[in-house]
Amino acid sequence: MEENKKLIKVPTMAEMAANGQEPEVLFWVGCAGSFDDRYKRVTRAFVQILEHVGVKYAVLGTEESCTGDPAKRAGNEFLFQMQALTNIEVLNGYNIKKIVTACPHCFNTIKNEYPDLGGNYEVIHHSTFLQQLINEGKVHVQGGEAFKGKRITYHDSCYLGRANDIYEAPRDVLAALDADLVEMKRSRANGLCCGAGGAQMFKEAEPGRKEINIERTEEALATLGAEGVIATACPFCMVMMNDGVKNKEQEQNVKVFDIAELIAQAEGLTK
Amino acid sequence: MIGISNIIFLIVAAIGIGLFVWQIRKIRKNIQLGRDLVLEDNPSERINKTLLVAFGQQKMFKRMLPAVLHLFVYVGFLVINIEVLEILIDGIFGTHRVLGFMGPFYDGLMAVNEILAALVIVACAIFLWRRNVSRVPRLATGVEMRAWPKMDANVILITEIVLMFALFAFNIADLKLAELKGHELAGAFPVSSMFVNAFGADAGTLATIANVGWWIHIIGILAFMNYLPSSKHFHIIMAFPNVYFSKLVPKGKMTTNPAITHEIKAMLDPSYQPPAPEVDAEGNPVVQRFGAKDVEDLTWKQLMDGYTCTECGRCTSVCPANLTGKLLSPRKIVMDTRDRMEEKGEHPAIFRPNHYKEMGVERVETTDEKTLLRGYITPEELWACTTCNACVESCPVNIDQLSTIMDLRRYLVLEESAAPASLNAMFTNIENNGAPWAFPASDRFNWADELYLPSKN
């Protein structure tokens, strides 16, 4: 199979700048996309899509650093601003105008909170970006795995949904798969959090009856029935839903995928 | 004809209105305890929002049954107030149904009033049922739903029913009196005409009933008005300004503290000149706390939230932390803010009834500190929040529970370094490696290794 695939050399901003080039869009990978083993697969799937459609993109590589979102949500405004001001210096230094990211937390922070600190960019989440690619006919969702008839339920990320009113883009992306999309009872503006936001990802939950991700996973499993896919669009949601599915011992029947992975699979990019 | 009863009425009305103004001024003073905040941008967007969310009850319609019932009471309140205006004029000048000259319009108004009044009675009866018999969880449970908030809701509902019955008593007696005298009463009365013989046919008795009904209605309204500032029912006034001043930016955007920005910029660049610190009236620099420990550290809008809360519990009923048994209840955060405001500032309430804390605390272990943080709201509650904005989304009067939770968290971290150990570890990771996990920054780009794309041929 070696001869049927080509090695992707992911371009960095440093290289582009050295060659006097500017990308159409900067792909902000985020910490989970860079370090979390499961989410690295999402990053890779998204890059495969970018390469496949021929978008002129670049990443910051090792120059990227945490946006400061978990620090800010945990109350550490000082650390947040340290991170933000440092990142803004890097981004402005490269004259970045447009940013795409697969992480709703990075998306929200750069889009909504960086402008107050001097960072003004057009920021889009990968769900919107993928929706645009599909609408423009650049992604046909054929040639790969077929999803026809498969049950998929989309779990809304709080920082995409309520925080930024993005409910339809990820659903439109999934609709392109021609799968059997089913909605959980609590969805869109009424969606239930996975339990990881507000820096909960990095601490134990407070004492209670139940973990939030278990509550949400139970709802997803009840919606899907015997088997299916929980689609997410956020690295933290993915961790929480995966843990929930494992806790319920359903990992054989129910898989958790990011919408970018599903598109890459349907497009035949992950073979 | 102006007689002794008109003079009594004038005195009663003047006392009622005066007392109300006195209470409003106290509440205003309490809200002004908060930090300054300018919210005058985009007036047209704010007006639109007020029309939709406050006047139009848009967010109520997420739950159909209470929305429809509440709409009856709300529209009833608005329309019946036109009749109250007439009652006031009649009371002052000794006239009788002074708006009757409007003919068919008056007929329609009275007919609508009567139907609405009947619907208000039905709605309030169902509300009483939901609170006391079927015990809808969000209305009947929660550590913050102590004796006073529960009684308050019942007081309001029963008062509304009594007021509507007084209105009917007045109309029925008035109608029968007109019939006995053989002349036509201005207005149409679809409900009262069905019960026109309810009080018999003795002119003297009927006159007394009409009179008593009239007085109960008007005194009831004045008393009700003065009860409002002590009650969750104050939302009928505060909902409008609170929605007008609510957040227009995306819910995910949290505030940025410029004082911190100046500090960091000065750290990163020694030549940076931060602006001169604010000074108070005596020229001393104002030392600003980072985050909020007590009510004066919150903005006036966050304090206004406290007086707008109708204790409906929609926020708590959708809170993921609360749903899974954690201590956090967004409704409690808002009610605590109001209670602490009244403890620290004025007691606008005649009975100071909002204060429920003395009644004993079940699970929330507060300290004796006289501050909002710890004295009312514990770190355990604050750390349970996932910042998911479900509470903010659910609130029919656009309260921003999350902003208060965040400001209290900020105080814990920035002023007390009192974050949970695991969060401190996360902070250290970000400081050292630029990621919340302990991975070396040099590994950040390793994900791109050996990545392939299937070739197209």
* pLDDT at residue A201, rounded to an integer: 96
Other beta carbons less than 10 A from residue B450's beta carbon: 8
B122 against B269, higher pLDDT: B122
Residue of A nearest to B379 (CA): A206
Q: Let me know whether A119 and A145 are in one domain.
A: no
Q: What is the 3-state secondary structure (H, E, C) of chain B?
A: CCCHHHHHHHHHHHHHHHHHHHHHHHHHHHHCCCECCCCCCCHHHHHHHHHHHHHCCHHHHHCHHHHHHHHHHHHHHHHHHHHHHHHHHHHHHCCCCHHHHHCHHHHHHHHHHHHHHHHHHHHHHHHHHHHHCCCCHHHHCCCCCCHHHHHHHHHHHHHHHHHHHHHHHHHHHHHHHHHHHCCCCCCCCCCHHHHCCCCCCCHHHHHHHHHHHHHHHHHHHHHHHHHHHHCHHHHHHHHHHHHHCCCCCCCCCCCCCHHHHHHHHHHHCCCCCCCCCCECCCCCECCCCCCCCCHHHCEHHHHHHHHHCCCCCHHHHHCHHHHCCCCCCHHHHHHHHHHHHHHHCCCCCCCCCCCCHHHCCCCCCCCCCCCHHHHCECHHHHHCCCCCCHHHHHCCCCCCHHHHHHHHHHHHHHHCCCCCHHHHHHHHHHHHHCCCCCCCHHHCCHHHCCCEEECCC
Residue of B nearest to A210 (CA): B324
Which among A33, A81, A215 is the nearest to B323, CB-wise? Answer: A215
Whether A2 contacts chain B with CB within 8 A:
no
Q: Let me know whether A171 and A252 are in one domain.
A: yes
User: Smallest CA–CA separation between A87 and chain B, in Å?
Assistant: 10
User: Smallest CA–CA separation between B100 and chain A, in Å?
Assistant: 49
Q: Let me know whether A127 and A149 are in one domain.
A: no
Query: How many domains would you assign to chain A?
Result: 2
Best probe of the A interface among B59, B422, B430, by most A CBs < 10 A, is B430
Interface of A with B in 153-182 (CB under 8 A): 158-159, 162-165
Q: Let me know whether A72 and A100 are in one domain.
A: yes
Out of A97, A112, A131, a domain closes at A131
Whether B288 contacts chain A with CB within 8 A:
no
Q: Is residue A236 part of a domain?
A: yes
* pLDDT higher than threshold 70 for residue B1: no
Q: Let me know whether A259 and A154 are in one domain.
A: yes
Cα B78 to the chain's mean position, in Å? 18
The CATH number assigned to the domain holding A124 equals 3.40.50
Listed residue (A108, A110, A20) closest to A65, CA to CA: A110
Q: Is residue A262 part of a domain?
A: yes
Listed residue (A32, A2, A65, A52) closest to A159, CA to CA: A32
pLDDT band at B348 (very low <50, low <70, confident <90, very high): low
Other beta carbons less than 10 A from residue B60's beta carbon: 20
Q: Let me know whether A50 and A91 are in one domain.
A: yes
Residue of B nearest to A65 (CA): B434
Q: What is the 3-state secondary structure (H, E, C) of B129-172?
A: HHHHCCCCHHHHCCCCCCHHHHHHHHHHHHHHHHHHHHHHHHHH
Residue of A nearest to B265 (CA): A85
Q: What is the pLDDT of residues B401-436, one digit of tens each?
A: 999 999 999 999 999 999 999 999 999 999 999 999
Domain with A82 in it: 2-131
* pLDDT at residue B275, rounded to an integer: 85
Whether B418 contacts chain A with CB within 8 A:
no
Residue of B nearest to A191 (CA): B390
Which among B257, B323, B451 is the nearest to A77, CB-wise? Answer: B257
| pLDDT by 10s per residue, chain A, length 271 | 455 789 999 999 999 999 999 999 999 999 999 999 999 999 999 999 999 999 999 999 999 999 999 999 999 999 999 999 999 999 999 999 999 999 999 999 999 999 999 999 999 999 999 999 999 999 988 888 889 889 999 999 999 999 999 999 999 999 999 999 999 999 999 999 999 999 999 999 999 999 999 999 999 999 999 899 999 999 999 999 999 999 999 999 999 999 999 999 999 998 6
The tokens for A183 are 């909605």
Q: Return the sign of the alpha-carbon dihedral for residues B260, B261, B264, B265.
A: negative
**What is the number of residues in chain B?**
457
Whether B434 contacts chain A with CB within 8 A:
yes
Q: Is residue A20 part of a domain?
A: yes
* pLDDT at residue B369, rounded to an integer: 85
Task: Name the least confident of B196-200, B323-327, B408-412, B440-444.
Answer: B196-200
Cβ neighbours of A113 in B, within 8 Å = 253-254, 256
The tokens for B374 are 């710890």
* pLDDT higher than threshold 50 for residue B185: yes
Would the CB atoms of B447 and A44 count as touching at under 8 Å?
A: yes
Residue of B nearest to A75 (CA): B410
Q: What is the pLDDT of residues B72-92, one digit of tens each?
A: 999 999 888 888 888 778 877
Structural contact between residues A130 and A173, judged by C-beta atoms closer than 8 angstroms:
yes
Q: Is residue A97 part of a domain?
A: yes
Distance CA B129, CA B121 (A): 12
Please report where in the chains the tokens 């981004």 appear, as a residue: A91
Amino acid at B206: L
Q: Let me know whether A122 and A145 are in one domain.
A: no
Q: Let me know whether A107 and A172 are in one domain.
A: no
Share of chain B above pLDDT 70, in %: 96
Out of A110, A131, A152, a domain closes at A131
Would the CB atoms of A35 and B439 count as touching at under 8 Å?
A: yes
Whether B426 contacts chain A with CB within 8 A:
yes
Distance CA B346, CA A34 (A): 54
Cβ neighbours of B378 in A, within 8 Å = none
Structural contact between residues A202 and B436, judged by C-beta atoms closer than 8 angstroms:
yes
Distance CA B425, CA B428 (A): 5
Name A232's bridge partners. Answer: A258
Average pLDDT over residues B201-213: 89
Q: What is the pLDDT of residues B190-205, one digit of tens each?
A: 999 999 999 998 999 9
Q: Let me know whether A96 and A127 are in one domain.
A: yes
Q: Is residue A136 part of a domain?
A: no
Structural contact between residues A146 and A179, judged by C-beta atoms closer than 8 angstroms:
no
Structural contact between residues B87 and B96, judged by C-beta atoms closer than 8 angstroms:
no
Q: Is residue A251 part of a domain?
A: yes
* pLDDT at residue A1, rounded to an integer: 45
Q: What is the pLDDT of residues A33-87, one digit of tens each?
A: 999 999 999 999 999 999 999 999 999 999 999 999 999 999 999 999 999 999 9
Q: Let me know whether A161 and A238 are in one domain.
A: yes
Which among A71, A111, A197 is the nearest to B386, CB-wise? Answer: A197
Q: Let me know whether A125 and A8 are in one domain.
A: yes
Q: Give one DSSP letter per residue of chain A, joined into a string.
A: -GGGEEE--PPBHHHHHHTT---SEEEE-HHHHHH-HHHHHHHHHHHHHHHHHT--EEB-GGG----SHHHHHTT-HHHHHHHHHHHHHHHHHTT--EEEES-HHHHHIIIIISGGGT---EEEEHHHHHHHHHHTTS----SS---TT-EEEEPPPTTTTTTT---HHHHHHHHTTT-EEE--SS-GGGPPP-S-TTTGGGSPPPS-SS-HHHHHHHHHHHHHTTSEEEEESSHHHHHHHHHHHHHTT-TTTEEEEEHHHHHHHHTT---
Amino acid at B301: K
Distance CA A248, CA A153 (A): 17
Interface of B with A in 338-397 (CB under 8 A): 380, 383-390, 392-393
Would the CB atoms of B448 and A10 count as touching at under 8 Å?
A: yes
C-alpha distances in Å from residue B190, one per residue of B171, B176, B182, B199, B365: 11, 14, 19, 17, 56
Distance CA B109, CA A93 (A): 68
B276 against B336, higher pLDDT: B336
Q: What is the pLDDT of residues B352-376, one digit of tens each?
A: 666 655 554 556 788 888 899 999 9
Residue B107: exposed, middle, or buried by beta-carbon count in 10 A (0-12, 13-18, 19+)? middle
Distance CA A47, CA A53 (A): 10
* pLDDT at residue B226, rounded to an integer: 93
Task: State the complex-level ipTM.
Answer: 0.96
Whole-angstrom distance between the N-terminal and C-terminal Cα of chain A?
10
Out of A105, A131, A157, a domain closes at A131
Opening angle at CA B337, ends B331 and B343, nearest 5: 135
Would the CB atoms of B444 and A59 count as touching at under 8 Å?
A: no
Cβ neighbours of A202 in B, within 8 Å = 422-423, 425-426, 436
Average pLDDT over residues B51-64: 95
Q: What is the pLDDT of residues B291-311, one digit of tens each?
A: 999 999 999 999 999 999 999
* pLDDT at residue B145, rounded to an integer: 86
B150 against B435, higher pLDDT: B435
Q: Let me know whether A124 and A156 are in one domain.
A: no
Task: Indicate the average pLDDT of chain B.
Answer: 91
Q: Is residue A271 part of a domain?
A: no
Which among B260, B326, B393 is the nearest to A81, CB-wise? Answer: B260
Best probe of the B interface among A206, A215, A219, A265, by most B CBs < 10 A, is A206
Which among B261, B323, B430 is the nearest to A71, CB-wise? Answer: B430
Average pLDDT over residues B158-168: 93
